[in-house]
Amino acid sequence: MYYGQIKNCDIANGVGVRVTLFVSGCTNRCPGCFQPETWDFEYGEPFTLKTEGRILGLLAPDYINGLTLLGGDPFEPENQRALTPFLRRVRALYPNKTIWAFTGYVYEDLHRIGKHPRCEVTDEMLGMIDVLVDGPFMERLKDISLRFRGSSNQRLIDMNKTREAGRIVLWDDGMAK
């Protein structure tokens, strides 16, 4: 897997101050995407153990609320396979920090057997995520007043409550629009 950027103090892609990893590779190629360069699976730098160590170090301060994954698309199968072992390390070291992930796929497609981008680690990866922002960016539905998403078709899914309820539960911090 490759990544395009790491932000160490991001306040735009989840609650609080976050470390954000922009992975490379996306087959959705949404028209109007704010980072089309990340569609290329080899854009940026290789994601190595050294990269993982750097991110784990950036997550250490108490003022960091958690990790956000976006891209490209973290749920492309090759990205899931690289991210899942890394997320295990994040969870082991920082069990109280949240993990957010953005994907152009819809949650339902992540569960459909035989449907791209589902693969052998999808369920495990979803099991480590606290909030999933799902759905493709749609330029005709773009709304800059929305919190943590670019278009009104995208959902903020509270993955912990979704797992408990056995159905999709949208995330709401009382401020989400």
Q: What is the mean pLDDT of each run of 10 residues along the chain (177 residues)?
A: 97 96 93 86 97 98 98 96 98 98 95 89 98 94 91 95 96 68
Number of H helices, E strands in the chain: 5, 7
> Taking Cα atoms as reference points, which of 147, 165, 167 lies closest to residue 107?
167
Q: List the domain boundaries for the chain.
A: 2-165
Question: Residue 175's pLDDT is what?
Answer: 58
| Distance from the Cα of residue 165 to its chain's centroid | 22
Question: Residue 115's pLDDT is what?
Answer: 84
Radius of gyration of the chain (CA): 15
- Determine the Cα–Cα distance for residues 106 and 117; give it in Å rounded to an integer: 10
- Domain 2-165 belongs to what topology? TIM Barrel (3.20.20)
Q: Are strands 155-158 and 131-134 parallel, antiparallel or unpaired?
A: antiparallel
- Determine the Cα–Cα distance for residues 77 and 135; give it in Å rounded to an integer: 16
- Determine the Cα–Cα distance for residues 35 and 77; give it in Å rounded to an integer: 19
Specify the amino acid at residue 109.
D
